[in-house]
Amino acid sequence: MTREEMAKQLKCYRFAIIELGLYLDTHPDDEKALCLHKEYSNRFKELSDKYQKVYGPLTIMFPCNKWRWLEEPWPWERGNN
């Protein structure tokens, strides 16, 4: 899985976790939604750990051994513009 694919999958998991959390606020006894929330939370954690081992922290909230921000190309240096 490429870096972009991993980032996209993490965004999908995050969206699903947030939406399921909101749903569970009003439907706390829905076992299926609770299981999905737990499953997506576990998948998000696993994938974010893999991502960060290879590419560094996703946000400043994720601790890392060192700061890698300056090692990466700046957005305008990636050639996507």
Residue ranges per structural domain of the chain: 3-77
Distance CA 50, CA 25 (A): 30
Is this model's pTM higher than 0.85 or not? Answer: no
Averaged over 65-75, what is the pLDDT?
69
Beta carbons of 66 and 52 less than 8 angstroms apart: no
Query: How much is the pLDDT for 60?
Result: 73
Distance CA 21, CA 15 (A): 10
Place of tokens 């009003």: 26
Q: Containing H/E element for 26?
A: helix 3-26
Averaged over 15-22, what is the pLDDT?
98
Backbone angles phi, psi at 56, to 5 degrees: 95, 180
pLDDT, tens digit, for every residue of 43-66? 999 999 999 888 888 877 766 656
Q: Cα Rg for the chain, rounded, in angstroms?
A: 16
Query: How much is the pLDDT for 55?
Result: 85
